């Protein structure tokens, strides 16, 4: 059953949601989202409303759960379960199985058969996505969607392309490794993403090769560089679009799923992951395990340390201060130099620069012991102060 037949069968149950024709709408208002989804071939409007209720639809990166939202199908980026939905009005996506001898152009001034001959009855301005050599056959895309065409052909998006090739046998065991490691061509290194043998016919070997580049004659030049020139080359797939059983010179429309897959693939292509050094994965995993719960552990440890510090400070403050033992030097004070004396109580401190210097005290007299009885008394130590002029003749 076609999408049109499916929608017609469900028109009766969806009449209550009909808000008029979709062909025209006021700028800034848009069309109801469920109608846009239904027009894209996702089913009836009732089924599309269920997709919205389930949170499977996003518009411009935001999940939509409310009915009645209006969008501009020409500019809105709508995804279903993460896959981009083609909603631009008037977009055409075709697959052509290009025969050998057909030029990959929309017209040819020399009158040779060209791709444009197969769509000359269409009114849309179509163009081919990429090229195939004249002697190469197979899948080529035709569309009027310039954005998609650019994404599929630009090297940075790396959309894969698969070819079947006939090459002379036998082939060496390490041919796959050689092609994946890269073959040096006159315009740089060319690598295969995948390679495998698929069959044999006499002395000819049928192989499958996948690449993501689009340089001229790249597949043929790669096989010629390794000593296996190609006698027949067929492109069978671009991204997720496969040629299938489409006959030479035949056309078909891409399905909504195929267009969505191409749009999604051309947006999600990422550079290959960096090869990790030996042991790097183990170190990263160990660090990850170590970091699990680390913030909570650090917080608990900090709280314990703070509580312990407070407890010690309180205990130190509450404890009575012990008197320092005689002769001990208190912490934070410098020891007294030998021979220095403190100033007399109430006297001037000669250390602060005053002119008055304390007088030295006389040494205490020795007490007379038994051995000193009858001995003459010792003379007192002379005063340090010398007699001045006023003392003469005293």
Catalytic residue among 22, 72, 108, 133: 133
pTM of the model: 0.55
H/E stretch holding 48 reads helix 45-53
Instruction: Report the C-alpha gap between 52 and 64 in whole angstroms.
Output: 6
pLDDT score, position 336: 57
Any residues with CB less than 8 A from the CB of 156 and at least 6 apart, and which? none
| Residue 133 annotated as catalytic | yes
Pairing of strands 78-80, 70-71: unpaired
With CA atoms as reference, report the closest residue to 220 among 166, 274, 261.
Answer: 166
How far is the CA of 393 from the CAs of 380, 382, 383, 386, in angstroms?
Answer: 21, 18, 18, 14
Question: Which pLDDT does position 260 carry in this prediction?
Answer: 83
Pairing relationship of beta strands 232-238 and 137-143 according to DSSP bridges? parallel
Cα 133 from chain centroid?
A: 38
* Per-residue confidence (pLDDT) for residue 313, from 0 to 100: 85
Distance, in Å, from the CA atom of 249 to the CA atom of 118, rounded to the nearest integer, reads 8
pLDDT score, position 24: 44
- Angle subtended at Cα 244 by Cα 238 and Cα 249, rounded to the nearest 5 degrees: 90
Considering only CA atoms, which of 159, 162, 140, 130 is closest in space to residue 264?
159
pLDDT of residue 293: 55
pLDDT at 147: 80
Per-residue pLDDT of the chain (394 residues; tens, 9 = 90+): 444 443 444 443 333 333 333 444 444 567 888 888 877 767 787 888 888 888 888 888 889 888 888 888 777 888 888 888 776 778 889 999 999 999 999 999 999 999 999 999 888 889 899 889 999 999 999 999 888 888 888 777 788 999 999 999 899 999 999 999 999 999 999 999 999 999 998 889 999 999 988 888 999 999 999 999 999 999 999 988 999 899 999 999 998 888 888 887 766 544 444 445 555 566 666 655 555 556 667 777 888 888 888 888 888 777 766 665 565 555 555 555 555 555 554 444 444 444 455 555 555 555 555 444 544 455 555 444 444 444 444 3
């Amino acid at each position: 059953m076609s999408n049109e037949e499916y929608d017609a069968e469900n028109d009766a149950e969806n009449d209550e949601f009909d808000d008029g024709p979709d062909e025209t709408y006021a700028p800034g208002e848009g069309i109801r989202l469920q109608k846009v989804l239904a027009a894209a071939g996702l089913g009836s409007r009732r089924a599309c409303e269920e997709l919205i209720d389930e949170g499977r639809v996003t518009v411009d990166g935001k999940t939509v759960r409310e009915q009645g939202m209006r969008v501009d199908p020409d500019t809105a980026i709508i995804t279903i379960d993460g896959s981009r939905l083609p909603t631009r009005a008037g977009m055409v996506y075709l697959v052509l199985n290009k025969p050998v001898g057909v030029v990959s152009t929309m017209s040819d001034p020399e009158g040779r058969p060209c791709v444009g001959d197969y769509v000359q009855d269409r009114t849309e301005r179509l163009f081919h996505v990429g090229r195939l050599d004249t002697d190469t056959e197979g899948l080529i895309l035709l569309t009027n969607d310039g954005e998609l065409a650019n994404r599929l052909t630009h090297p940075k998006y790396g959309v894969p392309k698969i070819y079947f090739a006939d090459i002379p046998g036998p082939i060496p065991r390490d041919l796959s490794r050689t092609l994946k490691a890269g073959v040096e061509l006159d315009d740089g290194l060319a690598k295969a993403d995948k390679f495998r043998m698929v069959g044999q016919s006499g002395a000819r070997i049928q192989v499958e090769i996948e690449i993501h580049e689009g340089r001229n004659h790249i597949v043929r030049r790669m096989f010629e560089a390794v000593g296996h020139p190609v006698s027949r080359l067929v492109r069978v797939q671009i991204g997720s679009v496969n040629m299938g059983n489409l006959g030479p010179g035949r056309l078909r429309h891409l399905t909504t799923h195929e267009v969505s897959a191409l749009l999604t693939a051309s947006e999600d292509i990422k550079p290959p992951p960096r090869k990790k050094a030996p042991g790097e994965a183990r170190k990263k995993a160990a660090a990850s395990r170590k970091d699990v719960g680390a913030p909570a552990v650090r917080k608990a440890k900090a709280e314990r340390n703070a509580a312990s510090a407070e407890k010690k400070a309180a205990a130190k403050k509450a404890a009575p201060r012990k008197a320092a033992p005689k002769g001990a030097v208190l912490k934070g004070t410098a020891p007294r130099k030998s021979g220095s004396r403190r100033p007399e109580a109430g006297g001037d401190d000669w250390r602060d620069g005053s002119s008055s210097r304390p007088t030295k005290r006389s040494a205490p007299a020795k007490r007379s012991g038994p051995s000193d009885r009858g001995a003459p008394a010792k003379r007192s130590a002379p005063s340090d102060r010398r007699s001045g002029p006023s003392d003469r003749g005293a």
